[in-house]
């Protein structure tokens, strides 16, 4: 797991966001990774950021775009367990 802390694509943003440094560094150190699961927030900014990251990485990795099933973020889902 890699926390991307504060990654977002603002409303009206039509350009791709820059890939988060934490993500690119983690992928550099773990060349065996072939699948990436994105668990970004379920709000507008998080969904746009996830779509942008997925678009940039899908030529190289299998991408699983998995927003939390309830609530805004993974913390809301964790409280169900």
pLDDT score for 16: 76
Q: Other CB atoms closer than 10 Å to residue 42's CB: what's the count? A: 18
pLDDT in tens, 11-29: 666 567 889 999 999 999 9
pLDDT in tens, 42-78: 988 889 999 999 999 999 999 999 998 888 887 777 6
Checking if the pLDDT of 1 tops 90, the result is: no
3-state secondary structure the chain: CCCCCCCCCCCCCCCCCCCCHHHHHHHHHCCCCCEEEECCCCCHHHHHHHHHHHHHHCCCCEEEECCCCCCCCHHHHHCCC
pLDDT score for 38: 95
pTM value is 0.82
């Amino acid at each position: 797991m890699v926390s991307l802390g504060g990654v977002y694509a603002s409303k009206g943003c039509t350009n791709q966001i820059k890939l988060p440094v934490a993500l690119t560094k983690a992928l550099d150190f773990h060349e065996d990774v072939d699948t990436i699961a994105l668990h970004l927030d379920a709000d507008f900014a998080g969904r746009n950021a996830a779509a942008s990251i997925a678009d940039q990485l899908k030529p190289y990795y299998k991408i699983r775009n998995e927003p939390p099933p309830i609530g805004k973020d993974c913390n809301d889902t964790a409280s169900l367990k």
